[in-house]
């Protein structure tokens, strides 16, 4: 059906078409090679079903049927991921010149190698769930953590995406982690390297940059940034270590920012809330912002009892 002529609509359409022509770098038309984001989100959800069988997707799985359950999902994921990986590899200069058949063959191989590492992902996630339970007195049981903790979802998406990142698959890892970011408020770049028993408590507003290295048994709270000191160099900084290294058994409380590629937070360090750290911290040190003095006014009445407790010096070392 032809659209009735509307001069105002024609004017608006012409404006937009002109913009398309002037900024062709941000338009995709006449292209069958663009990745399907909805399909990739579906793949991520199916992978979650494989990583945590019985918690999501089909319920009532028994050990006698889990082989068929896993096999069916693996078949679906292998097919769909191979198709999307073939599209993604066209953004990798190393594979860009391959013909369609060779590209699909390479994508199928990468997808198989990725899925072969799912037991490794489950090993890490079992340790992450354990760390969450051990570190959070509010946690009732492991089921609650797996089913409802946003940190576990974000870590799961990261650990899956990191393997694809290691396999040099463009775009797909970032789509996965940004989907998790959208759901949880936790932004973990797939290029970051994160050890076992990683615990994110609450999580909203956490940012972990691409070249961050995090050791084992690390705990971080909401609002923490592990970032770069400056991005003014733009693309010239690609491949440069821009984000901090966090060694084992470190705790970072809410709102803290740790910045810079040469910044190393030593083993056993505790970083207090709202600290702004741009230099390395030696092991087994406590870092905090010096407590501000609070004033209490009570309309001529006596000050609240024990008001002085709010002015205690809790940390051993002040940055």
pLDDT tens digits for 250-286?
Answer: 999 999 999 999 999 999 999 999 999 999 999 999 9
Average pLDDT over residues 293-318: 60
What residues contact 48, with CB distance under 8 A and at least 6 apart? Answer: 56, 57, 153, 156
Of 113, 36, 51, the C-alpha closest to 78 is: 113
Distance of alpha carbon 122 from alpha carbon 127, whole angstroms:
9
Which residue's structure tokens are 């709202």? Answer: 274
CA dihedral 50, 84, 26, 225 (to 10 degrees): 30
Distance of alpha carbon 68 from alpha carbon 79, whole angstroms:
17
Q: Cβ(215)–Cβ(247) under 8 Å?
A: yes
Q: Cβ(267)–Cβ(215) under 8 Å?
A: yes
Model pTM score = 0.85
- According to DSSP, residue 4 is labeled P
Domain map (residue ranges) of the chain: 31-190, 205-291+305-319
Distance of alpha carbon 161 from alpha carbon 171, whole angstroms:
10
CATH class of 205-291+305-319: mainly beta
Q: Cβ(244)–Cβ(265) under 8 Å?
A: yes
Confidence class of residue 140 from pLDDT cuts 50, 70 and 90?
A: very high
pLDDT at 56 over 80: yes
* Angle of CA points 204, 213, 205, to nearest 5°: 10
Tokens of 183: 């759901």
Q: Tell me, which fold does domain 31-190 have in CATH?
A: 1.10.3130
């Amino acid at each position: 059906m032809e659209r009735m002529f509307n001069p105002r609509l024609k004017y608006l359409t012409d404006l937009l078409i002109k913009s398309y022509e002037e900024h062709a770098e941000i338009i995709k038309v006449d292209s069958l090679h663009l990745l399907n984001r909805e399909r990739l989100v579906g793949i991520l959800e199916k992978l979650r079903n494989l990583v945590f069988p019985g918690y999501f997707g089909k319920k009532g799985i028994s050990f006698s049927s889990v082989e068929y359950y896993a096999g069916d999902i693996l078949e679906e994921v292998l097919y769909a991921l191979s198709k999307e990986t073939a599209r993604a590899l066209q953004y990798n200069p190393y594979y860009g010149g391959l013909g369609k058949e060779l590209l699909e063959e390479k994508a199928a191989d990468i997808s198989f190698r990725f899925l072969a590492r799912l037991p490794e992902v489950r090993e890490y996630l079992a340790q992450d769930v354990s760390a969450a339970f051990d570190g959070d007195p509010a946690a009732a049981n492991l089921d609650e953590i797996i089913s409802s903790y946003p940190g576990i979802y974000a870590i799961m998406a990261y650990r899956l995406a990191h393997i694809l990142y290691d396999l040099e698959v463009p775009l797909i890892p970032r789509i996965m982690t940004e989907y998790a970011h959208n759901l949880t408020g936790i932004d973990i770049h797939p290029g970051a390297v994160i050890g076992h028993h990683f615990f994110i408590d609450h999580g909203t507003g956490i940012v972990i940059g691409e070249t961050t290295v995090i050791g084992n048994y690390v705990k971080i709270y909401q609002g923490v940034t592990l970032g770069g000191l400056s991005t003014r160099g733009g693309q010239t900084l690609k491949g440069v270590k821009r984000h901090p290294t966090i060694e084992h058994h470190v705790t970072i409380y809410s709102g803290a920012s740790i910045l810079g590629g040469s910044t190393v937070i030593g083993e056993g360090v505790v970083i207090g809330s709202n600290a702004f750290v741009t230099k390395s911290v030696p092991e087994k040190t406590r870092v905090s912002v010096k407590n501000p003095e609070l004033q209490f006014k009570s309309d001529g009445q006596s000050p609240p009892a024990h008001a002085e407790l709010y002015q205690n010096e809790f940390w051993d070392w002040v940055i």
